[in-house]
Amino acid sequence: MFAIVDIETTGGYAGANNITEIAIVLHNGKEVEGKYSSLVNPCMPIQKYVQSLTGITDAMVANAPKFQDLAENIYNLLQNRIFVAHNVNFDYSYVKNELQLAGFNLVTPKLCTIRLTKKIFPNLPKYGLETVCTELNIKVKNRHRAAGDALATAALFTLLVENDRSGELARMLKKKPEQYLPPLVNEAQLAALPNTCGVYYFYNQQQKVVYVGKAKNIRKRVTSHFTNNTVKQQKHGFLREVVNITYQETASELVASVLESFEIKRLWPAFNKSQKYYEHQYGIFMFEDAKGYYRLGIDKNKKLLKPLQSFSLRTHAQQTLWQWTKQYNLHPALCFLDTSKVSFTDLPSLQQHNQSIQELLTATKNEQKSFIIPQANNYCLFVEDGKFYGMGVIDDMNVFKHPDKHVVKSLITPYPENEVVKGLLYKYVQQHPQKIVWL
């Protein structure tokens, strides 16, 4: 009847990250009746702070199955069951999206153990999984690993069922979403929203955008903001200020995600939390030292020097540089990643090291190609020399037969690149290589 789920991911932002581990505990409402867990190859690097938190490294998932290889089994375990998780919207959105990419449409009720715990044990100091388990004497093994957290959530769920003397679980499962519409937003305005993908904007009385979101179905997503599933801050905070809603339809979910990221950074809406950070551009640079070694280092981008790769945050640059040292067997001291004193005899030979650097430079150059990502209705996204340039409609089919980047640039609108957009585009390329038009 219930499927209790926990996942680990490469990072916090769902649109640009993937699952690295999944665990499912089947529960009949009284006890556990089945368990499933697996590491997942995310086909992208795991952020360093996430590796420290979970203990899941790039090496651990390198030979693990990809999600698409596990999708059918996972779908069969979840369908016809109630999807249960601690902060259910996080886990559900990742799993549903990954299943959809693999060709499976998961439609199942959701149940959040945070909300249920607040109802049955209302006096706990906090409701994160670790605090709840400590307060209720639930033993947790392998914290921040999918199987450990899923089993802990299952033990919590059993305890909740045993202590549910007022029927909170049944009430929560039967409860229909109740709308909390602001005074100046009516049902007719919601009904006029399209059932298509795109980006939507909430305005306050000063006609200032206070929130930007993306959606596969604009009407459905906007309506969900005004249901009783909305967090307290939204109900009593910015939703009370909303007086108008506008939207932009897009050719695809990918375009919606890219446009949302651009709009958040352009408008800086008061009630958007994710992606709101100022971008200080850093780069990985190469130079030859006095002994002839090709050295790699991180510094702020400079006008007259071209980096091997640019990043919005220094931590992202460090993550990539560590990945390169492992992939090409570079010594960390020659990349300014090892600050301890290293003897010259401990370093690789000049020829060996410089050969590895040349292999890295060749691979990096190959990755910095130009390509078009076609979407519906002749809409395209364009990446020039590995960097997102912009997007727009290209009606002339000859452009795809004889692609020329100067012609492409003249037909589309430029947009600034950021780390989220770069992650979205390269994730799409990995998943849909057959759809890419290379220049």
The string of pLDDT tens digits covering residues 93-114 is 889 989 988 889 888 999 999 9
3-state SS, residue 272:
coil
Where do the structural domains in the chain lie, given as residue ranges? 2-174, 187-267, 282-361, 371-438
Between 176 and 79, name the one with better pLDDT. 79
Question: What CATH number is given for 2-174 in this structure?
Answer: 3.30.420.10
Q: What percent of the chain has pLDDT over 90?
A: 56
pLDDT at site 178 = 52
Cα-based angle 424, 430, 431 (whole degrees, multiple of 5): 90
Between 38 and 426, name the one with better pLDDT. 38
Q: Mean pLDDT over residues 284-290, rounded? A: 93
- Please report which confidence band the pLDDT of residue 176 belongs to, taking 50, 70 and 90 as the band edges: low
Q: What percent of the chain has pLDDT over 70?
A: 93
If phi > 0 it is left, if psi is from -120 to 50 it is alpha, else beta; for residue 266 that is: alpha
Q: Strand pairing of 2-9 and 82-85?
A: parallel
Please write down the long-range contacts of 387-395, taking CB distance under 8 Å and 24 or more positions apart. Answer: 387/310, 387/417, 387/422, 388/258, 388/415, 388/417, 388/421, 388/422, 388/425, 389/414, 389/415, 389/417, 390/414, 390/415, 391/255, 391/258, 391/415
| Lookup: tokens for 195 | 């059932």
pLDDT surpasses 90 at 198: yes
The whole-angstrom separation of Cα 430 and Cα 436 is 10
- Sequence letter at residue 18: N
298-346 pLDDT tens trace: 998 887 788 888 777 788 788 889 989 998 999 999 999 987 776 767 8
| Lookup: tokens for 256 | 């919606």
Half-sphere exposure in the Cβ direction for 101 (13 Å, CA) = 21
- Furthest CA-CA distance within the chain: 76
The whole-angstrom separation of Cα 402 and Cα 383 is 16
Q: What stretches of 172-291 adopt beta strand conformation (E)?
A: 198-203, 209-215, 244-249, 282-288
Cα-based angle 366, 371, 373 (whole degrees, multiple of 5): 135
pLDDT at site 233 = 44
The mean predicted confidence, pLDDT, of the chain is 88
The CB density around residue 317, as the number of other CB atoms within 10 Å, is 21
pLDDT surpasses 60 at 276: yes
125-161 pLDDT tens trace: 999 999 999 999 998 888 889 999 999 999 999 999 9
Q: Strand pairing of 198-203 and 209-215?
A: antiparallel
- Please report which confidence band the pLDDT of residue 394 belongs to, taking 50, 70 and 90 as the band edges: very high
Burial class (CB in 10 A: 0-12, 13-18, 19+), 174: exposed
pLDDT at site 230 = 43
352-381 pLDDT tens trace: 999 999 999 988 776 778 999 999 999 999
The whole-angstrom separation of Cα 75 and Cα 3 is 11
pLDDT at site 232 = 46
pLDDT at site 360 = 92
Q: Which residues pair with 166 in a beta bridge?
A: none
pLDDT surpasses 90 at 273: no
pLDDT at site 275 = 78
The whole-angstrom separation of Cα 322 and Cα 336 is 10
| Lookup: tokens for 133 | 């388990």
Cα-based angle 157, 30, 110 (whole degrees, multiple of 5): 45
- pTM above threshold 0.85: no
Tell me, letter by letter, the H, E, C secondary structure of 123-166: CCCCCCHHHHHHHCCCCCCCCCCHHHHHHHHHHHHHHHHHCCCC
pLDDT surpasses 80 at 236: no
pLDDT surpasses 70 at 175: no
pLDDT surpasses 70 at 237: no
pLDDT at site 240 = 75
- Please report which confidence band the pLDDT of residue 13 belongs to, taking 50, 70 and 90 as the band edges: low
Structurally, at CATH architecture level, domain 187-267 sits in: 3-Layer(aba) Sandwich (3.40)
pLDDT at site 235 = 46
pLDDT at site 305 = 84
- Please report which confidence band the pLDDT of residue 279 belongs to, taking 50, 70 and 90 as the band edges: low
